[in-house]
Amino acid sequence: MIVKPAWVRPLAWIATAFALGVIVFGAFVRLSNAGLSCPDWPTCYGRITWPAHHTAVAAADAAFPGRPVAVHLAWRE
């Protein structure tokens, strides 16, 4: 009989919860058409959030000339 440590079951539940969160967040990003707004994951042009100010957008366009910033895809209201 194999004896499992007490921490295995909680760790499995935490991993399952994180995996479900990634799936739900990925579906949200896909359905809101925001998937192409940040080309270099996990940062967005080297920042935590997407660039919204005009100077930040211009700097991001200069830093990544082959990948233009699509701010209208980053957040829809």
Q: How many helices (H) and strands (E) does the chain have?
A: 3, 0
* 77 catalytic per annotation: yes
Which of 1, 10, 76, 77 is flagged as catalytic?
77
The overall longest dimension of the chain from CA atoms, in Å, is: 64
Rounded Cα–Cα distance for residues 30 and 28 (Å):
5
> Which residues are marked as active site?
77
